[in-house]
Amino acid sequence: MPRRPFVAALVIALISVLGWPILVVAQEASVPALPQVVLETSAGRIVIEVNDVKAPITGANFLRYVDEHRFDGATFYRAMKSAPGMGLVQGGTNYDPVRTLPPIAHEPTTQTGLVHVDGAVSMARHDPGTATGDFFISIGATPSYDAGRPFSVDPLGYAVFGRVVEGMEVARAVLVAPTSPTEGEGFMRGQFLEPRIVIVSARREVATEPVAP
């Protein structure tokens, strides 16, 4: 007679006795949560989850700006609309020499696996390797900012390092906020917010223990 059912039952019994499922659960539970940053802005609260595992250079850079309070009093200053309800909003130090740290190495999406989906948070830059303290939030998917796509606006793309986990309605409100019709040059004319949206504070989210009933 076939012995496979017996062997399968024996394996299941051994797994249960040895506690292997418990071991697997324990391993999964031991993976630390990704850090979250709360941006308190004049338009509302935005919470960003920073993936410093897949994007260690870019994630650490953003967290350094947060921990050193370099975003406090900075602004969201740009809103670029690509279609109704879609585009990006950009904020950060705006190259203020007092707030801005040295540039970091570029981590393309082809390296990190993080792409420009709705709510993705990515670094603004000029050439690759020039990103400092300015970032943008994708409103709707913006795959043309990924690296290596036939339609990429830049072959090396932009460095995604996180995603908005709370407050996308605030980001969408920033996208449709009033802009200056004259500020900016070239294609960026008309994309600068007037007035700016102030980043009142940027802090890491502090985990709290559940309260016992």
Output the domain CATH number for residue 102. Answer: 2.40.100.10
In a domain, 1, yes or no: no
In a domain, 211, yes or no: no
Structural domain including 100 reads: 36-204
Helix H or strand E encompassing 27: helix 20-29
Q: What is the pLDDT along the chain (213 residues), one digit of tens a residue?
A: 444 444 444 434 444 444 544 444 444 455 679 999 999 999 999 999 999 999 999 999 999 999 999 999 999 999 999 999 999 999 999 999 999 999 999 999 999 999 999 999 999 999 999 999 999 999 999 999 999 999 999 999 999 999 999 999 999 999 999 999 999 989 899 999 999 999 999 999 975 444 444
pTM of the predicted model over 0.85: no
In a domain, 199, yes or no: yes
The predicted structure's pLDDT at residue 206:
74
Encoded tokens for 37: 């940053």
The predicted structure's pLDDT at residue 144:
97
The predicted structure's pLDDT at residue 31:
66
Cα 69 from Cα 74, distance rounded (Å): 10
In a domain, 150, yes or no: yes
Cα 40 from Cα 199, distance rounded (Å): 6
The number of distinct structural domains making up the chain is 1
The predicted structure's pLDDT at residue 99:
97
Cα 210 from Cα 158, distance rounded (Å): 38
In a domain, 79, yes or no: yes
In a domain, 167, yes or no: yes
CA–CA distances in Å: residue 39 to residues 45, 47, 77, 131, 205 = 6, 6, 15, 20, 10
